[in-house]
Structure 1
């Protein structure tokens, strides 16, 4: 069987545009200069529709909040703020990307008041204007690091948590001047994340070779960069920062194991008014193996709809089933041997595991197999996978539809849409038909008697 490849825009887990401090179905930020961050989410009235006006449907929601709101008093934690965001994300068919920034800028975005009162006001002058506190004060790594470790212990592997930003220092947690950290402080802050978020993908801000390389020695970390779309001549992120910094920080191959995410410089309508070459921005971001994009929940220019759709068809992974071979007849107690050819038409792998499942089903009986395929290893290009499935000795005789899907491990339901034809109403993909018969029995009519078997 050779399924046809489709060109539909697919909304799939962990890739594409994201909502920012908002969720699918919420009103967008107005204008070209307005968005919120750092503060607890102000939840919108939900109409029941997940549609986003002038913004792509997404599978991702991004929540960025300051430490002060999560630990307002020492040892007292507002986990409910994260719990609510995770719950609403699930309701809106999204998973959450999370950054807990130590502070922003100014008194209103400072570290927690109890921590400010505890640190020595006579500490050395801060070397960077975006540092609110001296990270070399041992109390910083002790208390902020403790918070991160507790968060990791609580949320590691949470099914609704897509990624966690490794925010360690400077305004908004963006890592400004992190190269000035001592090895001891850098290790203490980075280890707080890598020691506890074992099963949840981690994303580092692209900062400096010391910090990023240390992170890579500890985990399969990806990276996030702010200011995609900045084309200002002489100091453009797109021309004078990203290409060089990705290489200097040794992160050019991080995409093979770690999620790559970008954030817009301003919003997309500001790009449009400045005459930014959107095709150049798209092509460069895909070259850097981008999986997700924060457009700050601000409207996307309708004039760029076709370009954005092209972007979405390549961003992250895009799996197509190209060929499936198998025997049309098997017997109870025998084997169903299959080979398959897949193609990842995107620019990155998937970073969370979804089992490849095979289903034999008819009107009365169903048998589901979870294979050992690790689709996280399916890099862009061709993939082959073969397996031998055991047919139970008591498998009822008859005709079965052979179907495949990439499923959610906890629910068993199809979770990833394929760029292939054959999707059934329940999300499974048709891969042919199989007849289960004994060696001596002739194949009965598909409309003949079917023996009832419980769902497995």
Structure 2
């Protein structure tokens, strides 16, 4: 989280404040004189506001199905736009998100759907082929479902629960405080994490999934006094097993409670705050629903702004709901999309949704400008607005470098998440003739989670280039993943030439 002290240390090169390249790394402050350097390469990059950037915890989530229709993908391919062109929606998204029942994921104890269910495995494989990361919510509650969302073998093992009616179907759900349920579910989460706790392929996991629709409300217990112990149990369970992939949790005013709606439950905010302090990210499933996304929800989003990212999901299902009942007076689908967008801007969300049945409406004539605006402004869009580096180095010497970063988006890159452990850092590299880095110099003091819209942030550091052979190179700049051999990891919103993920700054000679 940025503090007032952080902000006072920031500067904006080119905006009247000049930074000194010193031997110490760190954020630059105001009041420095112009550095006395040898000839330098100075590159001011222009912003790219149109290219789609598929970055972690950022962009659009396309909603999938664990039982996909035959035309699931083709309905989203070659979608006509108002200007007469077409797009493929999966090219526009970053993530395939699925709500899936525990039954599909573990139909028999120790037998997993990702190994045995061809339809489920197939949609995931196609998503990966299309360059989408994965995200999941595992649902165990069968209410409003046409089948049991907890496997029958859990009930047969002795878990206690309750039956409800969904039309003519009788379905069964477990009590979340039942010890048999908890033991079986804990074993499942361990296996689930072994399969999907990999940030290269998984973007996030909804780390709760209890209650009606997996949203955490309308909970039924064997003993209502177990509300908070169950909450703590499942939060800790997911965090124990998902150690590299972010976990998300609805900021629902009735979290873990027995009601679906009403005045905010007095315990909800404290319980949710505890999970977010532990590292959970925020999500909400009712953006645009003015009654269900109201003052309490807006306050929660404001409290956690720039401390944890927010994932948005719209609430209205326009083909099923009477949207005119919304206090905003919606009349059309476009009105609903505008309401969802307005709520997303206010909350500074990192992600928006392409939900089943709603996706194509985001590309209609009335709503396409909103989609384009989120692409240009939503989440985080980072680029190095200015880089200054030597154009000549001595072999075995050091390089005095300054670099300034700008965020075009209203969200932020949450390197401060405990599971990410500040792994994303700014770096420069000396690139060989083929574009391969021969030396990467990471600025350990750089902190992308501090880069907020409207406040460019500059740093100075003087790394060693010892061991680099004499010759001609190019400087490249990137945001790297320090847990993956300092490889470029975040797509940048800059115009310029990129080679092997490095944005080219200019030429440098080592002699």
Q: TM-score, normalised on structure 2?
A: 0.70
Find the partner of 1:102 among 115, 136, 140: 140
CA distance in 2, matches of 1:147, 1:184: 20
Q: How does 1:366-405 map to 2 (within 5 A)?
A: 366-371=437-442, 372=444, 373-380=446-453, 381-393=455-467, 395-398=469-472, 400-405=473-478
- Secondary structure of the structure 2 residue equivalent to 1:177: coil
Structure-2 change in CA distance of 1:317 and 1:103 (3 Å):
same
CA distance in 1, matches of 2:97, 2:492: 25
Find the partner of 1:356 among 426, 444, 452: 426
CA distance in 2, matches of 1:401, 1:50: 40
Aligned to 1:452: none
Query: Deviation per CA, 1:109-143, whole angstroms, max 9, x where unpaired?
Result: 432111233446687999xxx99332232223222
- Secondary structure of the structure 2 residue equivalent to 1:147: helix
Structure-2 change in CA distance of 1:322 and 1:203 (3 Å):
same
Is the 8 Å Cα contact of residues 212 and 219 (structure 2) preserved in structure 1?
no
Structure-2 change in CA distance of 1:311 and 1:199 (3 Å):
same
Structure-2 change in CA distance of 1:394 and 1:296 (3 Å):
closer
Find the partner of 2:59 among 16, 25, 30: 16
1:201 aligns with 2:261: no
Structure-2 change in CA distance of 1:75 and 1:397 (3 Å):
closer
Q: How does 1:77-96 map to 2 (within 5 A)?
A: 77-80=112-115, 87-96=125-134
Find the partner of 2:236 among 191, 203, 226: 191
Aligned to 2:304: 254
- CA drift of 1:296 comes to 1.2
- CA drift of 1:17 comes to 1.4
1:418 aligns with 2:492: yes
Find the partner of 1:140 among 153, 156, 181: 181
More deviation in 330-339 or 150-159?
150-159
Is the 8 Å Cα contact of residues 248 and 281 (structure 2) preserved in structure 1?
yes
Query: Deviation per CA, 1:207-253, whole angstroms, max 9, x where unpaired?
Result: 23254133124x2111221132335xxxx33xxx3431353xx5544
- CA drift of 1:292 comes to 1.2
Aligned to 1:310: 373
- Secondary structure of the structure 2 residue equivalent to 1:5: coil
Is the 8 Å Cα contact of residues 430 and 438 (structure 2) preserved in structure 1?
yes
More deviation in 264-273 or 358-367?
264-273
- CA drift of 1:260 comes to 1.4
Aligned to 1:115: 154
- CA drift of 1:162 comes to 0.5
Structure-2 change in CA distance of 1:341 and 1:120 (3 Å):
closer
Root mean square deviation, CA, Å: 3.5
CA distance in 1, matches of 2:348, 2:392: 43
Query: Deviation per CA, 1:158-188, whole angstroms, max 9, x where unpaired?
Result: 4201100023421321111359543322221
CA distance in 2, matches of 1:268, 1:416: 35
Structure 1 gaps of 5+ residues are 22-36, 438-456
Is the 8 Å Cα contact of residues 439 and 465 (structure 2) preserved in structure 1?
no
Aligned to 1:428: 502
- CA drift of 1:286 comes to 2.0
1:167 aligns with 2:167: no
Q: TM-score, normalised on structure 1?
A: 0.77
Structure-2 change in CA distance of 1:50 and 1:144 (3 Å):
same
Aligned to 1:244: 296
- Secondary structure of the structure 1 residue equivalent to 2:462: strand
Structure-2 change in CA distance of 1:407 and 1:350 (3 Å):
same
CA distance in 2, matches of 1:286, 1:67: 34
Structure-2 change in CA distance of 1:385 and 1:243 (3 Å):
farther
- Secondary structure of the structure 2 residue equivalent to 1:385: strand
CA distance in 1, matches of 2:161, 2:49: 61
Number of residue-to-residue matches in the alignment: 407
Aligned to 2:22: none
Structure-2 change in CA distance of 1:255 and 1:122 (3 Å):
closer
Aligned to 2:409: 346
